[in-house]
Amino acid sequence: MNIDIYVFVTLLVLGYVFGRLAEKKHFKSIIEREKKYKDLLTFSERLPPPGMNNTDAELVGGSVVISVDYFKRIVAGLRSIVGGRLTTYESLLERARREAILRMKEAAIDKGAIMVINVKLETSSITKGKGQQIGSVEVYAYGTALSPIAV
């Protein structure tokens, strides 16, 4: 009985400390890389802007699977009793989406692209823990990279 409580509290503390550190670090790296790649524009437009006809088109994509930590899961579980915003999951999905877009941009830059159009984001939860709680989400970002044809 007592051991159960110790294990629970330890997991909670570990989840809080490491989860928070990991999230901070991840957001820092996301912001840095977003600045680095800001010249590569991404659009959700379906068609290329006028005058962009002389380009090579290629499909690029980036994906990431991110897991929520123990502390956040417990907080979200408590929160869903009273309802309302689950901020802990909001930040998880935001991280995942921004990371997926950044990876797509990296793939586009590798191909020498100048813009990515028709960007689509797809989200799926792949693992579900006990009681159907979402453990981790996968986000896949894909689009068409346009790069100038080498003359």
List residues near another protein by CB under 8 A: 11, 14-15, 18-19, 22-23, 26, 46-48, 52-59, 61, 63-70, 72-73, 99, 117-118, 120, 122, 124-129, 135-136, 138, 140, 142-144, 146, 149
Whose Cβ is closer to another protein: residue 4's or residue 82's?
4
Q: Does residue 76 come out as left (phi exceeding 0), alpha (psi in the -120 to 50 range) or beta?
A: alpha
Enter the tokens of residue 50. 């006028």
Shortest Cβ distance from residue 112 to another protein (Å)? 15
Enter the tokens of residue 23. 């999230």
For residue 66, the one-letter residue type is I
Residue 109 near residue 145 (C-beta atoms within 8 A): no
Whose Cβ is closer to another protein: residue 47's or residue 82's?
47
Whose Cβ is closer to another protein: residue 75's or residue 83's?
75
Whose Cβ is closer to another protein: residue 32's or residue 122's?
122
Shortest Cβ distance from residue 44 to another protein (Å)? 11
Residue 142 near residue 59 (C-beta atoms within 8 A): yes
> Which residues does 128 contact at the CB level (< 8 Å), separation at least 6?
134, 135
